[in-house]
Amino acid sequence: MAAAVQYTAAGRNSMGELFTPTHLIVIAVVVLVLFGGKKLPELGKGLGEGLRGFKDGMKGVTDDINKPGETSHTVTPKPEESVK
């Protein structure tokens, strides 16, 4: 039973050390090799604009939710659908 406890604890430690500086350096080198030095600024700019747009979109959604008194649209029945 003690061996199983040690195995589980070792498994948790290895997952906790996933983003060590060594791993991040290896990831950076792979990205640099795949995209090249000239494409990285364009890639970063596109990623930044995308994140900014997502953040602005989420802000609009939360603003709509936080304003319960205001409705964005109202539905009015057609005259022939009204109760006679």
Domain assignments of the chain as residue spans, ordered by start = 13-56
Q: Are 72 and 64 in contact (CB under 8 A)?
A: yes
Nearest CA to 10 among 33, 2, 63, 48?
Answer: 2
CA–CA separation, 43 vs 13, rounded Å? 33
Higher pLDDT, 55 or 70: 55
Query: What is the per-residue pLDDT for 48?
Result: 94
Higher pLDDT, 36 or 51: 51
pLDDT digits (tens, 9 = 90+) for 9-27: 555 555 567 789 999 899 9
CA–CA separation, 35 vs 55, rounded Å? 26
DSSP helix/strand/coil, 47 = helix
CA–CA separation, 59 vs 12, rounded Å? 36
pLDDT digits (tens, 9 = 90+) for 58-67: 887 777 676 6
